[in-house]
Chain A
Amino acid sequence: MQSRRFTLVMAAVAFIFFSFVSVAAIAQEAPKSIKIGASISLTGRFAAGGIDVADGYKLAVKHVNDKGGILVKQFNKKIPVELIIYDDESDPSKTVTRLEKLNAEKVVAYLGEFASDMNIAGLGIAEKNKIPWVGVTIAVENVFNQGFKYIFGPNMFSFMEVAAFLDALDKIPESQRPKKIANFELQVDWGKECTKYLHEYAKKRGYTIALEKKFAPDTKDFSSMIMAAKSEGCDAVFAVPTPPQSMALIKQMKELDYAPKATCFVRGPDLSNFWQVMGKDANYIMTSGEWTPDMPYPGNKQLVADYRKLNPNKLMGMPVGNGYSAFQVLADAISRAEKLDRDSIRQALTTTNIVTVKGKVTFDKRGVGNVPHVLAQWQNGELVVIVSPDYKTAPVLVATPWSKRK
């Protein structure tokens, strides 16, 4: 008798215990925060862009968390975002270990950083760890031809930059329009990709590449290239120099009295302090216009106002807006993801279609972003957008000879 009762009691206890366990297992607790990770160059050679990108991310996270967080479908509640940023000291080997650490901390997504050297190492880790990776400035299209599934680049790529440059030339009235382009090819994959597209597009659109010269990241003296372009009669120049090279190039062009009608340095003059340091020698220089503080897209005014409040003595750099936009893309995907896990977020990213602070973003099958083709130009102290598919821009200014400039 007693043993049977004992067995019944034990069975009841076991039943209740296992019910609790199974109910607890089914009713999964919503996590306290959505963990997102990034390895960024806060120190070292690429710290300039790195710090700006980090600032853009942090502001975007703040705006999202101010509203309570991202509304996650799986739990039907808003969960705040926890952004974890580690410094990789501008060293791609350290990017790898930092991202592995973030993987160990169970981030649901990675955000990219400013410089290619690190981004390349990072996206490889993202792909192998099967964690979605949203880039911020990754202009090399070749990366997305490798069949990777987890990487997304919501920014302008080499072929868009070349197209935008030719768009700008098209906008110049026929009588003044430059026809002979000098291509200064920086010996990096991005530079070579731009060359490929320049050749492909220029002919179709009525321009010739009259001169092509190669230079390396350590080149400091551009006299032979400039003199060749001048003697060849090139009235337009295209290059993707490093920021110090963009300054040195312009200074040497002035010394050698070479002022082509259109000069486009995609990188370098996009630094917010470019006019401040170059003075009026920066006038007429075209550069990447991917994001400027004056763009009329939703959310931009708030972003600019908040940034300036936090950084009253700092000029607002392009990577800040690019970073903010990248986070918007990721946050949007998280809100549309069926579940709060890496593969669901990856799936949601593929169907992205939102308007960020730099315009509409969608992705093609490879993860290459469709974003507005934009080019900007330094005009009398302001970085002005001169090419945009979404709104009317300022006219393109044609450069005057050095001696005629006041």
Chain B
Amino acid sequence: MVERKKGLVIAAVVIVALALVPLFTGREYVFSILCMLFLYVTLSQSWNILGGYTGQINVGQAAFFGMGALVARLLWVAGAPFYLSILAGGLSSVILAIIIGLPALKLRGHYFAIGTLAVATIAQITVGNILPGISFLPAQQMATYSLIPRYYVFLIIMAAALAAIYITVNSRVGLGMEATRDDEEAAQMVGVNTFKYKMIAFVISSFFAGLAGGGFAYFNASYYWYLPFTLMWCFEPILIVFIGGVGSFLGPVIGSVCYVLLKELFALTLGEANLLIFGIVFILTILFFPKGIIGLPAKLRQLFYRRGNVVGR
């Protein structure tokens, strides 16, 4: 209990500190990097509630991210206020999730995974064919573009996602989700409505993925309509969550920080070979931290414990 209270206080302090960043620097580069970081934290945590806590590996998150971006952008460019557009994006993703989830959540394990991947691929091809062009910002929005409101939008979305998911996993619903993950058949036998919990997780997951997509639509000045549907948006959250530590609350946060910042650092300093070195670092991380980076403190304790033993002799 004390641990949790401590954790909450730290989290609150961090969020407040992040909110104050614009007071200390005007450098747009810092904002754009942090916006991307917040986006990835939101997207990967949204994946985590379905994949890590409920055990349903969704390889089609791009469909929900893209849906949110598409609806938000259409509404915003047509004149609706940005916050309503982003919210509408989130809700449209939820509707999509319910439509897909009703049949799809009957699939188990890797069948659900490949099924969602197929759905996301269909979405990408279809959007690319129907909207093969570019979404531009109208001149007025272009002239008044500032990164600061976007920074706060992403910060608020991330805080909301983290709060909502934290509350969910620590509630009875969270217990139902974890029971579904650990052994779906056994859970069903004791009367747990696993389908209900899977759907709840799916809805929460898609809502925040859609909000993140809405943020993306608000953030980008000009982009190809199909961009938020590309499959990298499916794979990256999964990698981030696993690297950080799947099924843990901080896993996606740690993973996002490492993934986004490390990749940026390498790209800026290593030139042509940056992805090569990143790939090597990535592999070494997994080989040495098979449970994710969140296992780092435990591993260090292990090392020190052993060392202490030897010295003590």
Q: Please say whether the chains A and B touch (CB closer than 8 A).
A: yes
The interface residues of chain A lying within 8 Å CB-to-CB of B271 are 42, 87
4 cross-chain pairs, A with B, having the tightest CB-CB distances, nearest first:
A124-B221, A124-B222, A189-B133, A104-B29
Given A120-B134, A128-B142, A189-B132, answer yes or no on A97-B33 (Cβ-Cβ < 8 Å): yes
Q: Mark B138-152, 1 if CB is under 8 A from A, else 0.
A: 010010010000000
Closest to B25 in A: A104
B115 interfacial contact with A, CB 8 Å: no
Contact of B274 among A87, A129, A143 (CB under 8 A): A87
Closest to B139 in A: A147
B183 interfacial contact with A, CB 8 Å: no
16 A-B pairs with CB atoms under 8 Å apart are A43-B275, A87-B267, A89-B267, A92-B227, A96-B32, A96-B219, A97-B33, A121-B220, A121-B223, A124-B220, A128-B145, A188-B128, A189-B133, A189-B134, A216-B128, A217-B128
Closest to B124 in A: A218
B129 interfacial contact with A, CB 8 Å: yes
B interface, over-half SS: helix
The interface residues of chain A lying within 8 Å CB-to-CB of B128 are 187-188, 216-217
Within 8 A of B (CB), among A124-160: 124-125, 127-129, 140, 142-143, 146-148
Residues B137 and A187 in contact, CB atoms below 8 Å apart = no
The interface residues of chain B lying within 8 Å CB-to-CB of A120 are 134, 222-224
Residues B264 and A97 in contact, CB atoms below 8 Å apart = yes
A187 to B33 CA separation, bound complex (whole angstroms): 32
Q: Mark B24-41, 1 if CB is under 8 A from A, else 0.
A: 000111111100100000
Closest to A123 in B: B222
Contact of B268 among A86, A91, A93, A187 (CB under 8 A): A86
Residues B268 and A124 in contact, CB atoms below 8 Å apart = no
Q: Mark B100-123, 1 if CB is under 8 A from A, else 0.
A: 000000000000000000000000
Residues B272 and A42 in contact, CB atoms below 8 Å apart = yes
CB distance from B231 to the nearest CB of A (A): 11
Contact of A127 among B221, B227, B268 (CB under 8 A): B221
Residues B224 and A92 in contact, CB atoms below 8 Å apart = yes
B232 interfacial contact with A, CB 8 Å: yes
B125 interfacial contact with A, CB 8 Å: yes
Given A42-B271, A189-B134, A217-B128, answer yes or no on A103-B29 (Cβ-Cβ < 8 Å): yes
The interface residues of chain B lying within 8 Å CB-to-CB of A192 are 132-133
A interface, over-half SS: helix
The interface residues of chain B lying within 8 Å CB-to-CB of A91 are 232
CB distance from A333 to the nearest CB of B (A): 23
A329 to B136 CA separation, bound complex (whole angstroms): 26
Closest to B31 in A: A100
Given A104-B29, A124-B136, A189-B133, answer yes or no on A97-B36 (Cβ-Cβ < 8 Å): yes
Closest to A117 in B: B224
Within 8 A of A (CB), among B175-222: 219-222
Residues B137 and A124 in contact, CB atoms below 8 Å apart = yes
Q: Mark B3-47, 1 if CB is under 8 A from A, else 0.
A: 000000000000000000000000111111100100000000000
CB distance from B62 to the nearest CB of A (A): 13
CB distance from B31 to the nearest CB of A (A): 8
A103 to B221 CA separation, bound complex (whole angstroms): 15
CB distance from B107 to the nearest CB of A (A): 25
18 additional A-B pairs beyond A88-B267, A143-B134, A147-B139, beta carbons within 8 Å, are: A42-B272, A89-B275, A91-B232, A93-B36, A101-B29, A104-B27, A104-B30, A117-B224, A121-B220, A124-B137, A124-B221, A124-B222, A127-B221, A140-B134, A142-B133, A142-B134, A143-B136, A148-B142
CB distance from A283 to the nearest CB of B (A): 32
The interface residues of chain B lying within 8 Å CB-to-CB of A93 are 36, 220, 227
CB distance from A39 to the nearest CB of B (A): 10
Residues A43 and B222 in contact, CB atoms below 8 Å apart = no
Residues A117 and B29 in contact, CB atoms below 8 Å apart = no
Given A88-B267, A91-B232, A142-B134, answer yes or no on A121-B222 (Cβ-Cβ < 8 Å): yes
Closest to B27 in A: A104
Closest to B274 in A: A87
The interface residues of chain B lying within 8 Å CB-to-CB of A87 are 267, 271-272, 274
CB distance from A33 to the nearest CB of B (A): 19
